[in-house]
């Protein structure tokens, strides 16, 4: 048996199995002995394979080479051709061909006998027969072949490595650097980037480790190796607060979703939580046995997580004195580097939210692996029972060839995860399928990443001082586009803003009334509490528009009253759209066999996405039909509830 690992050696072992009779039963004995060490590669050996006869051993390595060994331990040949790490290798049954795969995106076929060309037949005629009984269905929709595009690459943005970056909205980008500076950039509608006049923000005396911007964009937090954590006003660049200086390096500072709390942690092996208005200490979280590398809050601010070099993460109850409610050990070998919670409070499709709350946590570490953890908390009458929390791995994401440095969910629904690593790559993953969607190569170690709010741009920071801006294909931003366009449907009508009302007018074909609505500050409360005649009179519209708009408002209020009077936990899971996670009013069946809200799946297609929202497999057609049985069941349910 041959084994390889993170060193440049290959070890050969003999395995002897014997059976010793004992009282009519046999006892199996196995002896394993090291017989040889093959030393020839200059870096980690990633794969070893014997040929079918066991006479030849093939190995590949991060040193970009493939080697062939005989049974005496002699290297009989070296194959050069790949320009990056060689990750895998295999040999054909007749030992005439070798195939190797690399991070340079190439698969190379090697001819060991020198008798083949690209046109050679690899099997004899008649050896393989094909059945014509089954044929693949015709694909009516072309598969999306969009690629990630580099919008801009900025070299030497700072004088040290870029250690952290964070977007606010779609325009403001903050960067924390190894040169102790904090810089702010603006991204315009054409995706051109420029440094703002208030940049850089100066105050740290050593490298800035982390940077975070609050959800409302009013505060920016930075922490540093100098032990300081500062709060800034990103609009004018003024320092507005600070946390008492730590005696050791501070590695992370993160805002809660509501912006009221800031968690700070680092090499002191403890985390502290601060009120962002008064800057008073709310809690001190102790228990880790090594440096805390990262921390974050759930989107509803009920839980905090801290991760550690000691390979464990801890969950803390923010509602009950920040006590520890769970410790997960051996999460990542040799330490956890980064973590992030999904912003979606219903993050996993097809998991019922009745009587429970689910959170999705992403972690990554020095073992080259990212993991998605499903956290389930029982819920009875809106009360969460954190002492009964269940934590289990939901997805394991393999693909990186080095230590992972950062992991982030996409905003809004969190349907995409971005990871960065020392292998000079950033990867984009589908949260639902666990598949790697895109691999982004860079010139040096990648340290950090951040999405814009609309998921159209991904910022990547590198250790070589370069900043990369990648344009995300429309197929990756479909759900964000869908939710942004129809998210007002998930609100109660009374909570609609003026913008929600004008967006609704656009979708019902009355976009020309938007200026009128803006003039009278028409919001959801006015629609709900005023008569249709009063509203149309205030809008000063003609008789035809009055009739049309009155009818739409009447339907809107009727549907809203029914949904408003329906408790969330009482809604059958099948009645919820997998895309919007809201109750469906016009359910339609697509070619993947799943049912969606018509408006949501239409927006999906309009965004250029032609794969199943549930499986990511290509759809045979974009046609859909009304699910009448489900529609009738939903409306019957709403009528009964109302």
Of 334, 341, 332, 367, whose CA–CA distance to 263 is shortest?
341
The SS3 call for residue 84 is coil
Quote the CA–CA distance of 338 and 365 in Å, as a whole number: 7
Q: With contact defined as beta carbons under 8 Å apart, do 206 and 222 qualify? A: no
CA trace torsion 480, 172, 177, 147 (10° rounding): 40
**Chain center to CA of 178:** 26
Tell me the average pLDDT across 242-250.
93
Residue 604's nearest CA partner among 479, 455, 457, 433 is 479
> Residue 149: inside a domain, yes or no?
no
As a whole number of angstroms, the distance between CA 602 and CA 622 comes to 9
pLDDT, position 23: 40
Q: pLDDT-derived band of residue 22, with 50, 70 and 90 as boundaries?
A: very low
Residue 549 or 408, more confident: 408
**80, 111, 142 - which closes a domain:** 111
Residue 210 located in a structural domain: no
Residue 530 lies in a domain: yes
What pLDDT is recorded for position 642?
43
Q: What is the mean pLDDT of residues 284-310?
A: 95
Which residue, 433, 311, 295, 313, is CA-closest to 367? 311
CATH of residue 521's domain is: 3.30.40.10
Q: Express each pLDDT in 443-454 by its tens digit.
A: 999 999 999 988
CATH code of 13's domain: 2.130.10.10
Of 208-212, 341-345, 588-592, 625-629, the range with the highest mean pLDDT is 208-212
In a domain, 633, yes or no: yes
For residues 373-394, average pLDDT: 90
Task: Band the pLDDT of 190: cuts 50, 70, 90.
Answer: confident
In a domain, 7, yes or no: yes
Report pLDDT for 146. Answer: 56
What pLDDT sits at residue 46? 94
Among residues 47, 76, 111, the one where a domain terminates is 111
- pLDDT single digits (tens) 74-97: 999 899 999 989 999 999 888 889
Average per-residue pLDDT in the chain?
Answer: 84
CA 469 from centre of chain: 17
Q: Please, are residues 45 and 37 in contact by the beta-carbon 8 Å criterion? A: no
Q: Give the pair of three-digit tokens for residue 431.
A: 């949260």
Beta partners for 362? 340, 372
Between 248 and 431, whose confidence is greater? 248
Task: Return d(Cα 204, Cα 228) in angstroms, integer.
Answer: 7
pLDDT at 177: 96
Which residues face 191 on adjacent strands? Answer: none
- pLDDT digit string, tens, across residues 142-166: 333 457 789 999 999 999 999 999 9
Any residues with CB less than 8 A from the CB of 142 and at least 6 apart, and which? 610
Flag whether pLDDT at 492 surpasses 70.
no
Which whole number is the average pLDDT over 10-16? Answer: 91
User: b/e map of 99-116 (b: 16 or more CB within 10 Å)?
Assistant: ebbbbeeeebebebeeee
pLDDT score recorded for residue 477: 53
94 compared with 134, residue with greater pLDDT: 94
Taking only the tens place, the pLDDT of each residue in 159-189 is 999 999 999 999 999 999 999 999 999 998 8
The answer to the question of residue 345 being in a domain is no
Please give the average per-residue pLDDT across 253-273, as a whole number.
95
Quote the pLDDT of residue 570. Answer: 65
Q: Is the pLDDT of residue 461 over 70?
A: yes
Given a cut of 90, whether residue 421 has pLDDT beyond it is: yes
Q: Are 630 and 587 in contact (CB under 8 A)?
A: yes
Q: Of 9-18, 139-148, 249-258, 311-320, give the lowest mean pLDDT range.
A: 139-148
Given this model, what pLDDT does residue 500 score?
Answer: 75
Whether 107 has a pLDDT exceeding 50, the answer reads yes
Parent domain of 532: 483-641
**% of the chain residues with pLDDT over 70:** 86
Q: How many domains is the chain built from?
A: 2
Our measurement of the distance from residue 600's CA atom to the centroid of its chain's CA atoms, rounded to an integer in Å, reads 21
Q: Considering the domain boundaries, does residue 72 fall inside one?
A: yes
pLDDT of 24 above 50: no
List pLDDT tens digits, range 611-637: 888 777 788 887 888 888 888 888 777
| Pairing mode of beta strands 193-195, 162-168 | unpaired
Asked if the peptide bond before residue 385 counts as cis, ω within 30 degrees of 0, the response is no
Residue at 264 is within a domain = no
Is residue 251 within 8 A of residue 176, CB to CB? The reply is no
Of 86, 111, 136, which residue sits at a domain end? 111
């Amino acid at each position: 048996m041959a084994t390889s690992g993170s060193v440049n050696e290959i070890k050969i072992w003999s395995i002897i199995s014997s059976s010793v009779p004992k009282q009519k039963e046999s006892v199996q004995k196995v002896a394993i002995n090291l017989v040889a060490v093959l030393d020839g590669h200059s870096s980690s050996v990633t794969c070893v394979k014997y040929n079918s006869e066991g006479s030849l051993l093939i190995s590949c390595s991060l040193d970009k080479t493939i080697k062939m060994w005989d049974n005496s331990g002699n290297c009989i040949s070296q194959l050069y051709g790949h320009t990056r790490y060689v990750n895998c290798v295999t040999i054909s049954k007749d030992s005439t061909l070798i195939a190797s795969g690399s991070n340079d995106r190439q698969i190379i076929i090697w001819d060991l006998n020198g008798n083949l060309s690209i046109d050679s037949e690899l099997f004899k005629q008649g050896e393989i027969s094909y059945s014509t009984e089954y044929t693949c269905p015709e694909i009516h929709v072309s598969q999306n072949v969009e690629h990630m595009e580099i919008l801009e690459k900025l070299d030497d943005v700072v004088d040290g490595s870029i250690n952290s970056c964070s977007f606010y909205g779609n325009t403001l980008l903050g960067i924390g650097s190894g040169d102790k500076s904090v810089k702010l950039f603006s991204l315009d509608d054409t995706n051109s980037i420029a440094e703002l006049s208030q940049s850089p923000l100066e105050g740290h005396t050593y490298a800035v480790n982390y940077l975070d911007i609050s959800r409302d964009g009013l505060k920016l937090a930075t922490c540093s190796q100098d032990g300081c954590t500062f709060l800034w006003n990103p609009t004018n660049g003024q320092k507005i607060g600070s946390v008492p200086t730590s005696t050791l390096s501070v590695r992370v500072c993160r805002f809660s979703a509501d912006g009221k709390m800031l968690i700070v942690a680092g090499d002191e092996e403890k985390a502290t939580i601060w009120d962002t208005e008064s800057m008073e200490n709310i809690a001190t979280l102790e228990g880790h046995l090594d440096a805390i590398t990262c921390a974050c809050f759930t989107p509803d601010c009920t839980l905090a997580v801290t991760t550690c070099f000691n390979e464990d993460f801890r969950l803390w109850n923010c509602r009950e004195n920040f006590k520890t409610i769970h410790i997960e050990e051996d999460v990542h070998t040799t330490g956890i580097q980064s973590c992030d919670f999904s912003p979606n409070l219903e993050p996993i499709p097809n998991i019922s939210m009745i009587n429970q709350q689910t959170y999705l946590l992403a972690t990554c570490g020095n073992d080259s692996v990212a993991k998605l953890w499903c956290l389930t908390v029982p819920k009875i009458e809106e009360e969460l029972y954190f002492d009964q929390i269940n934590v289990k791995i939901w997805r394991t994401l393999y693909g990186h060839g080095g230590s992972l440095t950062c992991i982030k969910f996409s905003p809004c629904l969190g349907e995409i995860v971005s990871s960065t690593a020392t292998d000079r790559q950033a990867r984009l993953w589908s949260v639902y399928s666990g598949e790697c969607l895109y691999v982004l190569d860079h010139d040096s170690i990648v340290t950090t990443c951040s999405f814009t709010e609309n998921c159209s741009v991904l910022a990547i920071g590198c250790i070589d001082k370069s900043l990369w801006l990648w344009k995300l294909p429309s197929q990756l931003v479909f759900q964000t586009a869908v939710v942004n366009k129809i998210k007002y449907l998930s609100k109660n009508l009374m909570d609609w803003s003026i913008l929600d009302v004008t967006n609704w007018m656009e979708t019902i074909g009355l976009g020309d009334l938007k200026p009128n609505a803006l003039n009278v500050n028409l919001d959801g409360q006015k629609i709900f509490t005023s008569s249709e005649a009063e509203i149309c009179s205030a809008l000063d519209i003609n008789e035809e528009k009055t009739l049309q708009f009155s009818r739409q408002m009447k339907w809107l209020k009727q549907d809203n009253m029914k949904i408003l009077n329906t408790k969330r936990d009482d809604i059958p899971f099948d009645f919820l759209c997998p895309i919007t996670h809201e109750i469906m009013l016009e359910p339609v069946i697509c070619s993947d066999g799943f049912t969606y809200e018509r408006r949501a799946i239409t927006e999906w297609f309009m965004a250029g996405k032609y794969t199943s929202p549930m499986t990511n497999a290509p759809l045979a057609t974009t046609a859909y039909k009304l699910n009448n049985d489900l529609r009738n069941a939903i409306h019957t349910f709403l009528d009964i509830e109302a």
